[in-house]
Structure 1
């Protein structure tokens, strides 16, 4: 479809409602990184700015796909999830952008939107690359926040919005959901890459072997879902601010740590993680490798503007997926 993004004139009524008629928008810049929602920086004529999140079909690059019905991470997007998760993180003492307005009735743009504090454009990822010493304090503070999240236990596993509506927690063990998700991703990518088709049985066996080593457990903490240093902003005061948290759910905390290890690399120990189950962590780490093949290959088939980056990401993880089964076979 032809995508039409927002322009300053589209948000004049919104700006007048929030800031008054004497302040006017002068710029509306769509920020990079959003694939399920639009993220815009709205700048006013007094040089102040806020950030808008807009959940509209034209802002979502992801095509539909077959999913595991009780997978809490698939398609985690929308204003309801944002609002419920924002409240939960705030209650847990996690710094998130301050919420200024939530519109779930389409009053201003014909779509759900949230207006939040502009916490700046500096990501923790960029700060770590530019000045590791300066990044040490935000990393430590983020580690404190993660420990608060991961020790905030829920009644079961599942999305917070569903539990808020008094829906029952998911009945299946979390690791079984992850296995089904991983096998579904494997089936999808094996049709696209002959190397994965050839290794399909070996990968399936490897997943089931990893699952067999995971002991039973039923303690679920607050999990972000895909927390990399690009999903943490650092304010001028040095505060780490967590963003893109619609996937927040009660789940095995190892799911978060598998992703944290991948994305933070050598800086991961500075987060001072809580104690983890190594077998569960290994299963989740491998499942996320398969996810980072399936997702990028699927979105690369759309009009997503950075298709090459997605294909390169998939290739890196194809190499990882095959290397793991080659090592297991020796």
Structure 2
């Protein structure tokens, strides 16, 4: 897949900073968008997020829009506003164009490089503040579902059953346990009590989606922000942060148990589907799928 160069992003740099672009570097990590460091003629830098078909490694796939392909300028801008208003730190917005957003280049290190204790404490405090922002409806902040929409656990069950079928067709070890796993999904779903209030969540927050600059955690890759069950966020946090995760008080353990199995299935199905395309970091995706196959079978 060809990446963008100076000629492709020169006008973006002029619009954002009024300066000439000397060089660009595509940063590792984006699978749905291109992330480029813009190096300007005065030595300063910025970060450009680019949403174009040429930057998207994911094969076409039909899925509930709540989860499916959480990417695009509008989702980014909506999430940026929602998180900022909730008190989280996000990169300062410099430019929003048709398919490009430019934000400040904060430098710093990803939290995964060193789990700084102070930065972690600030992260958990920031997330707690974000989660205190609630809505009686779930969904993207600019596209909330109606009050009579199917309950969140029903949406998760439907999605997880679809992932189970996809995984069964591709992973013999899951195929051998298919009936047991479906029974587990349905049993855990049945144990979940109704709920009418949903929290604002990041949706995909790992230590690789947190930059630390001057000791402050800054959230990136924010397009998955939505109002949803807070347990969905905490299941992902415990998967990604391990012993560094700080559980919130009052989490519904029935939801946690149900969402763990659903997310492990998702983390088999998604990486395997991504590998159907031209995603370059194939060993990492294979390792994620293999790890989560084990976790699914242990459930």
Where do 5+ consecutive residues of structure 2 fail to align? Answer: none
Whole-Å separation in 1 of the counterparts to 2:276 and 2:12: 34
Which 4+ runs in 1 deviate beyond 6 A?
none
Whole-Å separation in 2 of the counterparts to 1:143 and 1:294: 29
The answer to whether the 8 A contact 2:131-2:201 is kept is: yes
Give the alignment partner of residue 10 of structure 1, picking from 8, 11, 26. 8
Whole-Å separation in 1 of the counterparts to 2:71 and 2:170: 27
- The reply on whether 1:241 has 2:218 as its aligned counterpart is yes
Where do 5+ consecutive residues of structure 1 fail to align? Answer: 105-111, 129-134, 325-330
The answer to whether the 8 A contact 1:156-1:170 is kept is: no
- The reply on whether 1:255 has 2:232 as its aligned counterpart is yes
RMSD (Å), alpha carbons: 1.4
- The reply on whether 1:29 has 2:25 as its aligned counterpart is yes
The alpha carbon displacement at 1:101 in A equals 0.6
The answer to whether the 8 A contact 2:136-2:196 is kept is: no
The answer to whether the 8 A contact 1:80-1:161 is kept is: no
Equivalent residue for 2:42? 46
- Give 3-state SS (helix, strand or coil) of 2:180's partner: helix
Number of positions where the alignment pairs a residue of Structure 1 with one of Structure 2 = 299
Query: CA offsets per residue over residues 19-69 of structure 1, 9 Å max, x none?
Result: 22xx322221101110000000111122211100000001000012232x3
Equivalent residue for 2:92? 98
Taking a change above 3 Å as real, the CA distance of residues 121 and 191 of structure 1, as seen in their structure-2 partners, is: farther
The alpha carbon displacement at 1:275 in A equals 2.1
The answer to whether the 8 A contact 1:123-1:234 is kept is: yes
The alpha carbon displacement at 1:170 in A equals 6.5
TM-score scaled to structure 1, two decimals?
0.88
Whole-Å separation in 1 of the counterparts to 2:37 and 2:13: 12
- Give 3-state SS (helix, strand or coil) of 2:70's partner: coil
Equivalent residue for 2:254? 279
- Give 3-state SS (helix, strand or coil) of 2:129's partner: helix
The answer to whether the 8 A contact 1:158-1:170 is kept is: no
Alignment of 1:147-296 (within 5 A): 147-163=128-144, 168=146, 171-235=149-213, 237-269=214-246, 273-296=248-271
TM-score scaled to structure 2, two decimals?
0.96
Whole-Å separation in 2 of the counterparts to 1:285 and 1:298: 20
Taking a change above 3 Å as real, the CA distance of residues 243 and 170 of structure 1, as seen in their structure-2 partners, is: farther
